[in-house]
Amino acid sequence: MNSPSKNSLQTSFELKTVLETSRMLVESRDPEFIINSLLLIIMGRLLVPKAALFFFDPAEGRYCLKKSKGFDGLNENQLYDIITDVDQQNDSYFTVDSAHPDFPQIVLEPNNSIFVNLRTSNNHHGFLLLAPKATKTPYRKDELEFVEALCIISTSALVNSQLFNELKNTYRNLDRRIHELNTLFDLSKEFNFLVDREKIARIFKFALLGQLFIRTFFLIYKTADSHTLLASSGLTGKPSDKQIKRIFDAIENEVVIPDSNLIEKHPWISKNKIAAFISVSIQNEKVAVIGVGERANKIPFGENDYNFLKSLSNLAVISIQKTYFLDDRIDKERMEEELSIAKSIQEGLLPDPLPRIEGIDLAARTISSREVGGDYFDIAKTPDGNTIFSIADVTGKGVPAALLMANLQSMLHVLLPVDITLAEATERINSIIFKNTPSDKFITFFWAKYVSTHKLLRYVNAGHNPPLLLRDQNDEFELLSQGGLLLGAMESIMPYVETDIQLNPNDILVCHTDGVEEAMDEETDEEYGVERLKLCIMKNRHKTSQEILEAIVEDVRHYSGNKLGDDLTLLILKASDSF
């Protein structure tokens, strides 16, 4: 029986080595172990004193040294040029003297040193560099085939381990992302029930610390009229209001990493080791800037961290904004309630129902352009049995005008029992208003006393729109304009003048505020004016006072498109035909 030849034994040994190596490497998930095993097996099996492994970097188009044994002149993780022709990536192996000329000439006998291709199927991944064997003999064909087989197995194992690690990292990142999403979901539910900004800031602080190990942070919120440091933790020194606004204005992008220019302009950032800024915008308007310091574990922020920071910051800021909206709503509701009460009080100051006056058909109405207004009318009996009619218009609108109107009403009623003329009473009212109101506040005022025994109307006009008197006998209007200056404009220098008017049957007196004349046509920007008012009165002269009033209001509303820019008040007297 013939004994096995030396070559057959060697081939059997190499095959066994390849099979055992294949099993060992395929089961491994550690790239470092696979690389070391490949180098050590080949170096031990072929007595190679030096070996190195390079992986191709597609982004750089060069080769990165992953592991080197015995080569002192090669630096791991450094990039090198190896090939001179892209076709060399398809060769099973080639000698170093065929490599790129820039490759360091540190290999002795470059014609005996070789690069072995690291590939899987038809994909090239890098090269294995082998120095000349210690025996100084050239590499045999069977040895190269052995090396090539090991390289194919090892490369497949490396690619698999890389894919496995990438998949493991993907799962790890996915788990972390799911955890972050769950955290954000829980926080959103928590924020939705909060209306206290301090509690929102506290939860935001704990979320930063618990999720990202951030101990230092600040939150700048922009309100309607200021920039406020709404929340902070771990800061060294509080920034001034000017610094707060400058930092807010400096952060323009969604995520900003402080650079030397930003730090130079704002040293406070460097002092507090602020590592990143998050800008929060709502409906394309920047409303907040969050600054966060370095992590307690010193791990740099990654893309996922910034995404979590942005989401968390948006949740917190939206909740904070909600609290401001709630405050505004509460203030608005409180104001509406107060205005409603003020309107009720103001309406209570007006005569309701209107007193009945023998021989006089009377109608009056005021329409405020806001909840409360500055127009005023009054009808009151005097101690001597006569009747006072008054109408006034306070400058401005709203609550200030309503307060001044109420003061006028109280002064008028205080003076009713006093035995003085209308002119003297008007002078006293003017003095009080001038001394006790701002210089930009004044009142146009008309009032008259109807003396029933003589069918006489005695009036004083203090700068008010002249009432229109339409006589029954003709179509001409008389303007009741005699009197003096409007109330509160200046001290009484000239005495007020009172004038008597004799009333006849079917005479019509229309007293009005400037809300009637100044009602605007939006299309032409033309005012309603006195002439249109006269035409409306003429058209309805044979109707009752109330019907005339309603006709004027309807005509003004129609002209202005039902948009009154000012308070509107009408006081109409019509002498009866049996007067």
Could you give the CA distance from residue 134 to residue 126 in angstroms, rounded to a whole number? 24
Copy the structure tokens of residue 152: 């194919």
Could you give the CA distance from residue 526 to residue 561 in angstroms, rounded to a whole number? 13
Half-sphere exposure of 496 (CA within 13 A, CB side): 32
pLDDT the model gives residue 360: 93
Give the number of other Cβ atoms within 10 Å of residue 501's Cβ.
19
Copy the structure tokens of residue 408: 């006028």
Could you give the CA distance from residue 326 to residue 200 in angstroms, rounded to a whole number? 14
Closest CA to 54 of 89, 97, 27: 89
DSSP string, 358-370: TTEEEEEEEE-SS
Could you give the CA distance from residue 278 to residue 569 in angstroms, rounded to a whole number? 56
Confidence (pTM): 0.54
Closest CA to 115 of 104, 132, 127, 103: 127
Please give the C-alpha separations between residue 333 and each of 279, 327, 328, 340, in angstroms, as whole numbers.
32, 10, 8, 10
Beta strands in 38-77 (DSSP E): 51-57, 62-69
Residue entry with tokens 């146009």: 444
Find the helix packing angle between 6-27 and 31-46, rounded to 10°.
170
Could you give the CA distance from residue 127 to residue 114 in angstroms, rounded to a whole number? 9
Between strands 62-69 and 51-57, the pairing is antiparallel
pLDDT tens digits, 370-383: 666 678 899 998 88
pLDDT tens digits, 237-285: 888 888 889 989 989 888 989 888 888 888 888 888 899 999 988 888 8
Please answer whether residues 390 and 412 qualify as being in contact, where contact means their C-beta atoms are separated by less than 8 angstroms.
yes
pLDDT the model gives residue 449: 94
pLDDT the model gives residue 446: 96
pLDDT the model gives residue 306: 87
pLDDT the model gives residue 571: 96
pLDDT the model gives residue 327: 77
Task: Look at the chain and count its residues.
Answer: 579
Looking at the DSSP bridge assignments, the partners of residue 570 are 365, 512
pLDDT the model gives residue 3: 44
DSSP string, 411-427: HHHHHTTS---HHHHHH
Closest CA to 424 of 349, 484, 338, 367: 484
Residue 501 phi/psi, 5-degree rounding, is -125, 130
C-alpha angle 98-103-104 in degrees, rounded to nearest 5: 120
User: Which regions of the chain are under pLDDT 70?
Assistant: 1-28, 106, 108, 170-181, 183-184, 186-187, 338-348, 370-373, 396-398, 578-579
Percent residues over pLDDT 70 in the chain: 88
Please answer whether residues 78 and 65 qualify as being in contact, where contact means their C-beta atoms are separated by less than 8 angstroms.
yes
Residue 513 phi/psi, 5-degree rounding, is -100, 170
Q: Collect all residues with Cβ–Cβ distance below 8 Å to 374 and sequence separation of at least 6.
A: 393, 394, 395, 396, 397, 398, 400, 401, 402, 404, 405, 567
Please answer whether residues 29 and 164 qualify as being in contact, where contact means their C-beta atoms are separated by less than 8 angstroms.
yes
60, burial (CB in 10 Å: exposed 0-12, middle 13-18, buried 19+): exposed
Residue entry with tokens 């130079």: 264
pLDDT the model gives residue 1: 43
pLDDT the model gives residue 174: 65
Burial 4-22 (b: 16+ CB within 10 A, else e): eeeeeeeeeebeeebeebb
Could you give the CA distance from residue 552 to residue 560 in angstroms, rounded to a whole number? 12
Copy the structure tokens of residue 495: 């005495």
Domains, the chain, with CATH or none: 6-165 (3.30.450.40), 194-326 (3.30.450.40), 350-575 (3.60.40.10)
Q: Collect all residues with Cβ–Cβ distance below 8 Å to 470 and sequence separation of at least 6.
A: 476, 477, 507, 508, 509, 510, 537, 538, 541
Please tell me what DSSP assigns to residue 96: G
Copy the structure tokens of residue 243: 């610094």
